[in-house]
Structure 1
Amino acid sequence: MRLIISCMDRRLNSYIRKNYPNAVVIRNAGANVNSLINTLEKYKNNVDEVVLLPHTDCGAMKVVFSSLKEGKKLTSIVEESLVNQFSSKRFDSLSDLERLNLEIQSERLIRIFGNKVKAELIDVNKIDVPPTKDPYMVYLTKPSPPVELGSNVYVISADDKDIWDSLDIAIYGMRISRVVVNDPKLAEKVKSIYPSVTTSTSF
């Protein structure tokens, strides 16, 4: 089995579906392995290959950059799970940080999966992103093979325990106001935590 770990960014939807149609896909803000402990534990002993796919012009890395370089305040869960792993690292630009993210997440995956790990930093300027005028939304789902989604949809696919920092970034950082989640119980929990967001169980 091939396992893909990538970012929730909407621009990657068609790329992942085209290039990895049969893989199990895990996605969150920044392809952040630190936030995926519960999710990855389930796959530790039954994968043949793990492919890490962060990307350029990453919103999650912009969040890290603005926090560490500009002092922007974030929620505690985002600081703990995403930002703090970069706090002792040296970088001068967003592109430096994106390359550093590739290195850090690769190292974390190698500790779990050994030599099964491959990694690539996707240049979003070189992939085909279908145009959209639809408002942005977040789709919460379990790890699974990629499905056809519009390029307005940010995808968080992980264990329920591992989604909350990515949701904080999407809702508070990116001002996304709609969340679609298949699981009714999880939908109710999302509603209770983010009451200003429109939450539904279907598109």
Structure 2
Amino acid sequence: MSVYSGMKLVVSCMDRRLNSYLKKKYPDAIIIRNAGANVNSLLITFEKYKDRVDDVILLPHTDCGAMKVVYSSLKEGKKITSLVEEKLVSQFSSKKFSSLSELERLNMEIQKENLKRIFGDKVRTELIDVNKIEIPPSNEPYMAYVSKPSQLAELSSNIYHISAEDKEIWDSLDIAVYAMKINKIITPDEKTVEKIKAAYPSVIVSTTSF
């Protein structure tokens, strides 16, 4: 048995509506989040954990903004950044689906297989139905919070949370800024602040931690 016996790793989407659900159900787990629970964009992040966890839980969800980006790109020809194409959309270009719900189920299966290549039989999965979870109300404007993987902090339901190593945040930020029109990003790391400011000069970026 691993010396890290019992450590859980949760892989989920950055969607703001999942914050309360993840915090309540997995308070002691290490949380990794990006656009669409996209394993393909988290390989560096997972390298730190592949021999340290006994339980890996994949939690994509319904009504997913990242899957809407994939759908609109492949079915409607909408433009996306080359990074989002490479890291996210390309996984689905040869797959058959006719609706967003089919795409979301397909995403769950693709990401599950990707995770199993890293963690083997430790992986289990659930597609979260956002219509069946409690989402605390918030009147605050939407923003994105970028952090390293850790146990989930208390985040209100206006905050999209990207939790990954620095090199693997950028396709999710592209989706947050260009697809979801997020214009404020916060992060506890000052070096990351400067990099984000350089990449997205029209966005307000500040140093904050939770």
Instruction: Report TM bin, short chain.
Output: over 0.9
Tell me what 1:99 maps to.
105
**Which among 40, 53, 56 is matched to residue 47 of structure 1?**
53
Tell me what 2:38 maps to.
32
Q: Aligned-pair distance for 1:132? A: 1.0
**Aligned positions of 1:37-186 closer than 5 A:** 37-186=43-192
Q: Root-mean-square deviation (CA), in Å?
A: 0.6
Rounded to whole Å, the distance in 1 between the matches of 2:175 and 2:54 is 31
What TM-score, normalized by structure 2, do the two folds share?
0.96
Q: Secondary structure at the match of 1:91?
A: coil
Instruction: Report Cα offsets for 1:158-186 as digits up to 9, x if no partner.
Output: 00010000000000111000000100011
Unmatched 5+ residue regions in structure 2? 1-6
Rounded to whole Å, the distance in 2 between the matches of 1:91 and 1:20 is 31
Q: Aligned-pair distance for 1:74? A: 0.4
Rounded to whole Å, the distance in 2 between the matches of 1:192 and 1:73 is 22
Rounded to whole Å, the distance in 2 between the matches of 1:162 and 1:202 is 20
Rounded to whole Å, the distance in 2 between the matches of 1:85 and 1:7 is 17
Rounded to whole Å, the distance in 2 between the matches of 1:158 and 1:202 is 16
Q: What is the identity, as a one-letter code, of the residue corresponding to 1:100?
A: L
Q: What is the identity, as a one-letter code, of the residue corresponding to 1:189?
A: K
4+ residue stretches of structure 1 with deviation over 6 A? Answer: none
Rounded to whole Å, the distance in 1 between the matches of 2:22 and 2:156 is 13
Aligned length: 203
> Share of identical aligned residues, percent?
67
Rounded to whole Å, the distance in 1 between the matches of 2:44 and 2:208 is 25
Rounded to whole Å, the distance in 2 between the matches of 1:20 and 1:144 is 12
Q: Secondary structure at the match of 1:25?
A: strand
